[in-house]
Chains A and B, each alone.
Chain A
Amino acid sequence: MEVFVVSLLNGLVYGMLLFMLASGLTLIFSMMGVLNFAHASAYMLGAYLAYTLSLYVGFWIALILAPILCGLMGAAIEMWGLRRVHKNGHIAELLYTFGLVLIIEKVVQMTWGLIAVPYRIPSGLDFALFDLWGTDFPAYRGFMLLISALMFLSIWLGLTRTRIGLVIQAALTHPDMVGALGHNVPRVFTIVFAAGTALAGLAGVIGGNYRVTEPSMAFSMGPIVFVVVVFGGLGSLTGCFIASILMGMIQTFAVVLDYSLADLLAVFGFIVTKATPGSEFLMVTLPRIAALLPFILLVLILVLRPRGLMGTRDT
């Protein structure tokens, strides 16, 4: 019971962090068709900017400023880079954002150094919210949950209930028509890209001190975010949300369940011993591959349901 409840909370916190990162990417990916490799780099940049800003103006102002700076960077990337590259098709865009990943990582290393920076949780949030059988639940994790829930709500309301949201949705499917109606379609794209990057920056501000702010953080977080986006389905914020929580839960619970394929076979009366062919493979326990499960799921969903969990189209 104790392990179950604590794991549930762990999974929820991790899932929501994934969602914060993935929501921006899914916005960009589904609306512009751009597979933005540099998304996790914006996450890293958000963390580093927040660290530096918090030294001067405190955490709370950094929480607002850092995502805005990331958003501005995103707008610049879209206006002066991506828009030109876009003409040459998806491969060019892919390579362009991949190049950005390398550049941003190098810039971060040159600016902030190669080792982790001491970006800490603000003292106002550095206490235990409640205690579960001797395990503290830090207030900061509660704060993360709150921010990500607010984020989900505001994106969803923004897209479905506001005028700009409607124009964005229309511009994605029928750009020519929206243009003919007098809307500035390139600017809509810029706004989407900037907003997506700002969201990644926000995730960085929140995740940077929850985890560790170091130059490899983009590289380590990048792949899992793609898994969430593809798994959740293109163009679906709800799908992205469900996929994030699911990935968080799967990884968390896989760790505490000490079972292997051999145990599963034993249920059917088939005992695996060292002599059984493939016993090495069959006896690998779930925790040992917990971190790889999302990638296995990615492969499965691409084969069985290419559009993803809640996707509306196949591309």
Chain B
Amino acid sequence: MRLGRTILSAIAAGVVALAAPAAMQPAAAQGTIKIAYTDPLSGPFAQVGDANLKQMQYIIDHINSKGGALGRKFELVPFDNKSQPSDALIALKNATDQNMPFIMHCSGSNIAAALIDGVNKHNDRNPDNRIIYLNCGAVATELTNDQCSFWHFRFDLNVAQKAEVMVQALPKTTTKVYLLNQDYLFGQSVQRDVTAFIKKNRPDIQIVGDELIPLGKVQDFSPYITKIKASGAQALLTGNWGPDMNLLIKAGIDSGIDLKYYTFYAHLAGGPTAIGPGGDGKVFAVMSFGENIAPEIGNKEAENWTNGFRAKHNFDFSAAVFRTIFEHVQSAINKAGSLDAFKVATAMEGQAMKDFLGYETLMRTDDHQIMTAYYVGVFKKGVKYEAEKTGLGWATAATIKMDDVQQATTCKMRRPRS
């Protein structure tokens, strides 16, 4: 009995000790501009959210050192959504309960769709406590077409734009390609859009194989490689991510067949490690940024800034263009002169500014889709900044300017009056 009470009081003391700093935090951070950030911070995709969080934190520190907005500093408040739309909506509820003016979310278009819907409803019902959704990486094209919302701003190119970039990067000598994608919404839209742009922009290319695989279920990709080889394809085009991409490319490189890999996600965490030195010059990635771009174009300032991240963290700074998001937000708030969601959103619409590499960006008014430069990187030896300590890194094979990915939108934006 006595022992039981001792344990109980020990637990109680522990709870108080844990809770105390948490309770102190809001008071200490009074006056900051809060941005709720929700992504998987636990579970199988935790690496995505975790890496994003650290990179955003570095960027926010920079933005704050440049004065923040309206004389106030930005603060990132993370919420784990476990890759579940329902948990993302709880994060949204938390954010609005605390009057946060922004919610940011990167991965999962299904979650993004839920968030757009949630934000629309919330803003309709609570005109004096509205929130803006900053989308940093949910790329389903629909989100800025049929499902477009005045409160949603997308800062990454959508699937159709990325598909166009990928097709533009295919060399003239490539005439036979093989498509392999994951069998769900995203993979199917990659399949559809890549096919469409090949037909439109490169009619000389023949699609010799078109495959869908169950998401995350394939353990051994060697049979697919056998099939791809038999088809005579020169290039494999894939939107796969995670293990589905790593295992696919590894199986291909191990088999030594003569094939180029065009991917959407090979440059992201874990990709370079899985590819390894055997992939020298064979793997391409459609990417928003690469650490070798700054030295290649001779932008010393940008290079120093990305180096600062490397000095602090032990991984690649692949999401450095998130800086564009925060610069757009910073500028829009300053222009609006307040944190009112309507005023900030109006200020952000049509806002044009240069990104930190010096390329033009534009937040398109019609659908709130960013227009920005995009890159195709090739994984090879002898670059200045290596990826994931493999000795190889991403050299820029093609730079696609903002004007080359202007695609029409079907968005019929419903704008509130005030």
Q: Which residues of A contact B (CB under 8 A)?
A: 2-3, 6-7, 10-11, 13-14, 17, 109, 113-118, 120, 128, 134-136, 138, 211-212, 214-217, 219-221, 224, 248, 251-253, 255-256, 287-292
Contacts and interface: CB of A to CB of B under 8 A. Distances in A.
B273 interface: yes
Given A114-B47, A134-B229, A291-B213, A10 B246 contact: no
Contacts of A2: 230
Interface stretch (B91-99, B215-223, B360-368): B215-223
Interface of B: 44, 46-47, 50-51, 183, 211-214, 216-220, 222-227, 229-230, 242-243, 246-247, 250, 254-258, 269-270, 273-274, 276, 315, 388-390
Contacts of B257: 134-136
Contact of A224 (B219, B227, B246, B255): B219
A252 B222 contact: yes
B214 A289 contact: yes
B276 A118 contact: yes
11 contacts: A3-B227, A10-B220, A17-B220, A114-B50, A138-B256, A212-B246, A212-B274, A256-B226, A256-B227, A291-B214, A291-B219
B278 to A, nearest CB: 9
Contacts of A224: 219
Contacts, number: 118
Nearest to A6: B226
A220 B273 contact: no
Q: Which 3 residue pairs are nearest across A and B when measured between Cβ atoms?
A: A114-B47, A136-B256, A291-B217
Given A3-B230, A256-B226, A136 B50 contact: no
A303 B122 CA distance: 50
B255 to A, nearest CB: 5
Given A136-B254, A136-B256, A116 B226 contact: no
Nearest to B215: A291
Nearest to B246: A212
Q: Which of B226, B254, B388 has the most chain A CB atoms inside 10 A of its CB?
A: B226
Contacts of A14: 219-220, 222
A7 B223 contact: yes
A251 B270 contact: no
Nearest to A137: B255
A31 B273 CA distance: 39
B243 A214 contact: yes
Contacts of A17: 220
Contacts of A290: 213, 218, 223
A255 B246 contact: no
Nearest to B229: A135
Given A114-B47, A291-B214, 17 more contacts: A10-B222, A14-B222, A114-B50, A118-B388, A135-B257, A136-B255, A136-B256, A136-B257, A212-B270, A214-B243, A251-B223, A255-B227, A287-B211, A287-B227, A290-B213, A291-B213, A291-B218
B285 to A, nearest CB: 16
A48 to B, nearest CB: 13
Most buried by A among B214, B223, B242, B256: B223
A253 B227 CA distance: 10
Contact of A109 (B46, B227, B246): B46
By DSSP majority rule, is chain A's interface helix, strand, loop, or mixed?
helix
Contact of A252 (B216, B223, B247, B250): B223
Nearest to B227: A256
B193 to A, nearest CB: 19
B250 A211 contact: yes
Contacts of A116: 246, 270, 273-274
Nearest to A253: B223
Most B-side CB within 10 Å, residue of A212, A217, A252: A212
A117 B220 contact: no
Contacts of B216: 220
A291 B214 CA distance: 7
Contact of B273 (A117, A136, A219): A117
Contacts of A138: 254-256
B212 A288 contact: yes
Contacts of A3: 226-227, 230
Given A14-B219, A116-B274, A214-B270, A288 B183 contact: yes
A144 to B, nearest CB: 12
A125 B204 CA distance: 41
A262 to B, nearest CB: 16
Contacts of B246: 116, 212, 214
Contacts of A13: 220, 222
A248 B218 CA distance: 11
Contact of A115 (B47, B212, B258): B47
Contacts of A221: 219
A218 to B, nearest CB: 11
Nearest to A141: B254
B48 to A, nearest CB: 9
B391 to A, nearest CB: 10
Nearest to A136: B256
Contacts of A118: 273, 276, 388-390
Nearest to A217: B243
Contacts of A212: 243, 246-247, 250, 270, 273-274
B389 to A, nearest CB: 7
Contacts of A6: 226
